[in-house]
Structure 1
């Protein structure tokens, strides 16, 4: 081979080698570039998704905070309505007792909503045997009128006045909406004065103290004691009515129906019978 042909041959070989290297390296470079582009896209997508999730989380936190505030406001409104309902219940119950007993004088019915003060007239006059000849004005029993022309008997009249004061204090506590204190006061009254003419009334209002706070398990036996232990009490129709109400609230509909029908049968033409019929219509 001549000296001229040899360099040409070497140059051709170098060109061929370069072409071969270029052909083999191009797919590698292309793949690397593709991977880099994919990585950049993934990073962008991940960043966008993360921002979206963060925005959604912040929105949800704000909504939860708003809902919590609304729930707290609704709870306060519910509590206020419950208190109003209890006070209205006591007012209506006391006034119905007054109307049923036909008593237009004496103490005022419990209003609980800004009404007049004093024990209910139904309770001030409605003793268990109807034989109380002592009339008291106000809530503290300062004025008494006995059978001796207004001259008080310093023995028995004094005891009756003390009993009346205990009863009035318990009833005023109930009317003020301090139901737990009222329950304790009436419990103490029936323990201290089990033979008092006001014992049946106190037992009834003890049941009411539990009923208005929906402690039906505690209220039921107190109303039942009025039925079982005070056969002459004028609170028996109302106690039996409340027994029906308690069963109704507890979902014991058959027992509620039995009690309410008994009110109508045993005490017809009374307010309690009318209320019993209204509740029966709901069963």
Structure 2
């Protein structure tokens, strides 16, 4: 029995020793773990407090913001580009439509140009300086620079038309043509006499005056305007085919003038 008691005591002592040993081991492990954690925390704190790392962190944040701003700008530019493309497509379509319209008008004018006969009929294109339809045919006149006397006479007549004194202006311009038919101002005098007749709706006499510019002074600056107004006179006289021919002739002979641009619009109206 005593022997059994010794055995039991030995077992109990061994168990207690083992328990104490395990407790000591656990305490050492725990202490080591705590020390390791503290060291890790200290290392992390040192890293966080490192000024170089802090600066890199800030720069990284700034770069991220800049990247976001650039992305926003790219998105904005993409939207603008889509708008520009839509507008460009619209304008291209409008241009194509306009070109098609102009090509159609050009083809019509080409046909009319081919049908246009340069030497016009005697009654329409050959008035004389005295404005009588049955006088001899007009031939081109070589002009000379206007003298001081001619300039004064022309200005007096022009002032009359500016003041709406059309009858007096017509008489003054006719007198100028009678006395100074070779002056470089003669074509202007005939043109403005035509305008005076046109304002008074005397279209046949206005037509004669404009045709005088065209035939007697074919190389002067008033020819294109005179052709346009001659077409207007023919249109008012209900001679529409002749009016079309006159407009077409103007476009063919003086294509780069404002008068030609107006003639194109008039032809489009008459189609």
For Structure 1 versus Structure 2, the TM-score category normalised by the shorter chain is: 0.3 to 0.5
TM-score of the aligned structures, taking structure 1 as reference length: 0.44
TM-score by length of 2: 0.46
Larger Cα Rg: Structure 1 or Structure 2?
A: 2
